[in-house]
Amino acid sequence: ALVSSTPMLQQARKQGYGIVAFNVHTLEMLQAVVDAAEESRSPLILQTTVGTVKHLGIEYIANAARTAAEKARIPIALHLDHCQSFELIIQCIRAGYTSVMIDQSMHPFEKNVEMTKKVVEVARALNVNVEAELGKVGGVEDDIHVDEDMASLADPNECQRFVELTGVSTLAPAIGTAHGIYKGEPNIDFQRIEAIAGIVEVPLVLHGGSGIPEAQVKRCVALGMAKMNVATELKNAFTNSLQRFFVEHPNDLDPRSYMSIAKTVVKQLALQKMELCGCTNKA
């Protein structure tokens, strides 16, 4: 069965490694990251955005993830990424999601607290993990666009107060990363991560995982980032492999041909990310 992501993330934070949460958009992408996690014995978080929930349908996603969890010998959680709607969160939990993100980072602190608390109250009784965001992560994620000059970093004292007030089980503080691929390098505020981790005990979540140089990912994880979200790199790898396939084999129209290749490409990338975060052989 699908498991809550809370225990696996707490263990990761305690032991100083990170679990990778992969945003998947198709059955093949889901299968590819499950294969990678199985092969490397890594705990896994499957993640879908609101856009993907609308695209595939909650039940299709939940059932595919459940099937994967039943067959796999590793723990698998299913997480709803960046959701602003309380109603959709409830629907996803009812369908079997074991982890949800209530993203009210666009609102003032008090409103963020209020909405997050509301979700925590429901989720706690059902053993569902809750993630919330403080500060604003920049970049583009589905239909959430945050311009660079609108992005803001999380305040450590607010992080501590937020966790106390809401009882949230995981916190995503904005610390300088952004959604999508960076133009240069991200400008990560490592001192801020250290300050937050020093006063916040819950596992911290690193958003904007695509494109962060490896050494910087390792530093973030060592400082307490116990979950890293990877969306854009995985999506690009999947789609680029299809583009290459059709250039090389314009007459092969069998989905099983090009999807098998795309699956292998996604699996290899997933293995790299899990190795990087240190979660291999932790399941």
Among Na ion, ligand 13P, Zn ion, none, the one that 23 touches (CB under a kind-dependent 5 to 8 A) is: ligand 13P
Query: Scanning the structure block, which residue is given the tokens 């979700």?
Result: 119
Contacts of 11 (CB under 8 A, 6+ apart): 282
- 227 vs 245 by CB, closer to ligand 13P: 227
Residue 82 labeled ligand binder: yes
Residue 249 labeled ligand binder: no
Residue 280 labeled ligand binder: no
Binding site for Zn ion (CB under 5 A): 207, 229
Residue 128 labeled ligand binder: no
Considering only 82, 192, 227, 282, the residue that binds ligand 13P (CB under 6 A) is: 82
User: Which of 255, 218, 282, 229 is closest to 101 using CA atoms?
Assistant: 229
181-240: which residues touch ligand 13P (CB under 6 A)? 207-210, 229-233
Q: How far is the CB of 149 from Zn ion (least distance, A)?
A: 19
Considering only 43, 156, 176, 208, the residue that binds Na ion (CB under 5 A) is: 208
- 141 vs 155 by CB, closer to Zn ion: 141
Q: How far is the CB of 103 from Zn ion (least distance, A)?
A: 8
Q: 159: burial class by Cβ within 10 Å (0-12, 13-18, 19+)?
A: buried
Tell me the window of 125-133, 153-161, 201-209, 262-270 that interacts with Na ion (CB under 5 A). 201-209
Among Na ion, ligand 13P, Zn ion, none, the one that 231 touches (CB under a kind-dependent 5 to 8 A) is: ligand 13P
CB contact at 8 A, 92 and 84: no
Q: How far is the CB of 179 from Zn ion (least distance, A)?
A: 6
Residue 257 labeled ligand binder: no
Verify whether residue 81 is a known catalytic residue.
yes
Spacing of C-alpha 175 from chain mean position: 16
Name beta bridge partners: 228.
20, 206
Dihedral sign of CA atoms 53, 150, 215, 181 in order: positive
CA distance 233 to 269: 8
- 208 vs 224 by CB, closer to Na ion: 208
Considering only 135, 156, 211, 224, the residue that binds Na ion (CB under 5 A) is: 211
DSSP structure string for 118-140: HHHHHHHHTT-EEEEEESB-EEE
CA distance 164 to 174: 18
Residues found near ligand 13P in the complex (CB under 6 A): 23, 81-82, 141, 179-180, 207-210, 229-233
**Residues annotated within a binding site for dihydroxyacetone phosphate:** 180, 208-210, 229-232
Q: Which residues are catalytic?
A: 81
